[in-house]
Amino acid sequence: MADSAKATELDAVVIGAGFSGLYMLRRLRDELGVSARVFETGDEVGGTWYWNRYPGARCDSEAYMYCFSFDKELLQEWNWSGKYPEQPEILRYLSHVADRFDLRRDIQFNTRVTAARFNEATNRWEIETDQGDHVTAQFLITGIGCLSAGQVPDIKGLDTFEGDWYHTGAWPHDGVDLKGKRVGVIGTGSSGVQSIPVIAEQAAHLTVFQRTPQFTIPARHHTVDRDYLNDVKANYDALWDKARKSAGGFPVDPSELSALEVSDEQRQAIYEAGWAEGGFKFFFGSFKDIAVDRRANDTASEFIRSKIREIVKDPATADKLVPTDHPFSSKRALIDTNYFETYNRDNVELVDIRHSPIQEITPKGIRTEDGEYELDIIVFATGFDAMTGTFFKMDIRGRNDLPLKEKWATGPKTYLGLSSHGFPNMFMITGPGSPSVLSNMPVSIEQHVEFISDFIEYLRERDISVVEADADAEEAWVAHVNEIANMTLYPLANSWYLGANIPGKPRVFMPYPGGVGAYREKCDEVAANDYDGFVLGNASEHFARVPHESARIQIP
């Protein structure tokens, strides 16, 4: 086996030791037999699950499918405790994977990659880290996650605050003692909706500063027993097969019904059943047209609004919590445990900062147009510079010394979310333009890792040292992603999918919304056609200028 610890000339460098980096290393080192090193900023494996330790952090994919499928014994031996795994359990799982496959010896922890430049004379990447490493590698592979560059808004006066403040995505490892404290949470996305009910139970008082009200569905989390696990494990092959061919990477049967073709009573009964069962089945399993037809969506949106009004006892608070400015699921769909119920507690107050914006952070708390809220702790559940932010924290330069940040100045441009023209031998695991955040991540990660490692094997067998996305194939793919996005309701919300949460970020829909099944078929077809849409060999002059119709696929 390759041992990369001392080498400065490697076959591959992988950035990040989360789900992506761990599996990539396993494939490269143990199946292809190439030398590979993973650089990881944290002092342990886990990626997202290493950093996001805020109260209530848990996954909203069901546990039995939020894991690797590449090793059947691993699947059989790990026992999840409940429907939705909590952060510490996922971290334990990833640590177990690292141990089981002896991955740590090729991971360099506490090391941030600061720069990577493609040397056109050698066809190799030159990589630098904040620990003074200078290594070269034929392939640069990013496993940096889609949501890892935390975003703390630039609010006047934060530096004057006398209390403590934290971002949910960089939560202290020893936890934060909230007992007896007056806590303010800014943000009501996934992190806010998960943490608010838990913080409310611990803190003396909680003030939630809400800019956009959210649609959220009850998770109905529960523990699972031995019979449940046995049943899942006996059926794993079929479940994974179904998930891989599905839209979202879950083994669910999508509804064939239109919300507009059933009676009011039938529609209500279907929504009630989804609400009672909980989780994303409300979305996938109810009606086929919620995500694409505004009138169909209105029925789901209105159902959830009525539930909010039913749950929240104070009508004025309920009014503030009812979303009216975007359709259900046009922002990231959310599931929760006791989110709306939390606003019935005596120690919780909701501040609508859309109508009464935050003016400044003072030494004592937060001042909005309505007055000052005194706080001991501020929690920023304000999200991430998604999909591109982590790339831009590194100085990545391709051919002609072109910075990636410059190439993507008007929005990320990739072929299949895997590769960007002008950046040869660089692969992105779940990069912009792939299903990534619109899917159950491990399913998408495994597919990308397998595509990349099969591609590297193909190149090595043919002694091809350099490969690059074709410019026209890339353009066609970007256009195709936008075309599908425009067939959905996603563009109707200001979401991080579109970069709308970051001031000045170009408004471009970043993930691929055509579904993991259709996307996998496209990638398989590309591979079967000798990696159509990639230029193989060091031949920038060979870049065809003809449009690649093959980069287009039909939305399923």
59 contacts ligand N01 (rule: CB under 6 A): yes
Query: How far is the first Cα of the chain from the last one, in angstroms, to the nearest whole number?
Result: 42
Task: Please report, for residues 7, 87, 157, 166, 391, the alpha-carbon distance to residue 394 in angstroms, rounded to integers and kept in the order given.
Answer: 22, 27, 29, 24, 6
Secondary structure of 141-209 in the HEC alphabet? Answer: EECCCCCCCECCCCCCCHHHCCCEEEEHHHCCCCCCCCECCEEEEECCCHHHHHHHHHHHHHECEEEEE
Residue nearest to ligand N01 (CB): 189
Residue with Cβ nearer ligand N01 (91 or 396) = 91
Residue with Cβ nearer ligand N01 (191 or 388) = 191
What gap in Å lies between CA 365 and CA 359, rounded to an integer? 11
According to DSSP, residue 27 is labeled: I
511 contacts ligand N01 (rule: CB under 6 A): no
Q: Which residues contact 99 (CB under 8 A, 6 or more apart)?
A: none
SS3 301: helix
184 contacts ligand N01 (rule: CB under 6 A): no
Q: Amino acid identity of 283?
A: F
90 contacts ligand N01 (rule: CB under 6 A): no
Residue with Cβ nearer ligand N01 (362 or 540) = 362
Please list every residue from 230 through 249 that binds ligand N01, using CB under 6 A. Answer: none
HSE at residue 466, side-chain half, CA atoms within 13 A, is 21
Secondary structure of 461-523 in the HEC alphabet? Answer: HCCCCCEEECHHHHHHHHHHHHHHHCCCCHHHCCCHHHCCCCCCCCCCCCCCCCCHHHHHHHH
Q: What interhelical angle do 226-234 and 236-245 show, nearest 10?
A: 70
Question: Is the distance from CB of 5 to CB of 106 less than 8 angstroms?
Answer: yes
Minimum CB–partner distance for residue 526 and ligand N01 (Å): 27
Spatial CA neighbour of 240 closest among 446, 385, 498? 446
522 contacts ligand N01 (rule: CB under 6 A): no
Angle at 457 between CA 456 and CA 462, to 5 degrees: 100
Among 501, 509, 513, 531, indicate the residue that binds ligand N01 (CB under 6 A). Answer: 501
x/- letters, 124..143, toward ligand N01 (CB under 6 A): --------------------
Among 251, 383, 398, 431, indicate the residue that binds ligand N01 (CB under 6 A). Answer: 383
| Segment lying near ligand N01 (by CB under 6 A), choices 1-9, 185-193, 223-231, 479-487 | 185-193
Spatial CA neighbour of 384 closest among 60, 167, 198? 167
x/- letters, 418..447, toward ligand N01 (CB under 6 A): -------------------x----------
Category of 19 on φ-ψ map: left (φ > 0), alpha (ψ -120 to 50) or beta? alpha
Among 35, 69, 129, 194, indicate the residue that binds ligand N01 (CB under 6 A). Answer: 194
Minimum CB–partner distance for residue 219 and ligand N01 (Å): 9
Minimum CB–partner distance for residue 521 and ligand N01 (Å): 25
| Segment lying near ligand N01 (by CB under 6 A), choices 36-44, 96-104, 183-191, 284-292 | 183-191
What gap in Å lies between CA 326 and CA 197, rounded to an integer? 24
60 contacts ligand N01 (rule: CB under 6 A): yes
Burial class (CB in 10 A: 0-12, 13-18, 19+), 174: exposed
Please list every residue from 200 through 229 that binds ligand N01, using CB under 6 A. Answer: 211-212
Helices (H) and strands (E) in the chain, counts: 17, 20
| Segment lying near ligand N01 (by CB under 6 A), choices 27-35, 258-266, 380-388, 461-469 | 380-388
Among 143, 187, 424, 442, indicate the residue that binds ligand N01 (CB under 6 A). Answer: 187
Residue with Cβ nearer ligand N01 (157 or 537) = 157
x/- letters, 250..289, toward ligand N01 (CB under 6 A): ----------------------------------------
| Segment lying near ligand N01 (by CB under 6 A), choices 260-268, 270-278, 379-387, 510-518 | 379-387
506 contacts ligand N01 (rule: CB under 6 A): no
Angle at 517 between CA 86 and CA 467, to 5 degrees: 100
147 contacts ligand N01 (rule: CB under 6 A): yes
Residue with Cβ nearer ligand N01 (299 or 501) = 501
What gap in Å lies between CA 378 and CA 381, rounded to an integer? 9
Residue with Cβ nearer ligand N01 (41 or 194) = 194
Minimum CB–partner distance for residue 161 and ligand N01 (Å): 15
Among 83, 221, 332, 397, indicate the residue that binds ligand N01 (CB under 6 A). Answer: 332
Residue with tokens 């560059």: 149
The site for ligand N01, by CB under 6 A, has a size of: 24
Among 10, 127, 186, 416, indicate the residue that binds ligand N01 (CB under 6 A). Answer: 186
| Segment lying near ligand N01 (by CB under 6 A), choices 105-113, 285-293, 378-386, 483-491 | 378-386
Please list every residue from 163 through 182 that binds ligand N01, using CB under 6 A. Answer: 168
What gap in Å lies between CA 233 and CA 474, rounded to an integer? 40
Residues that bind ligand N01 (CB under 6 A): 59-60, 147, 153, 168, 186-192, 194, 211-212, 332, 353, 381-384, 437, 496, 501
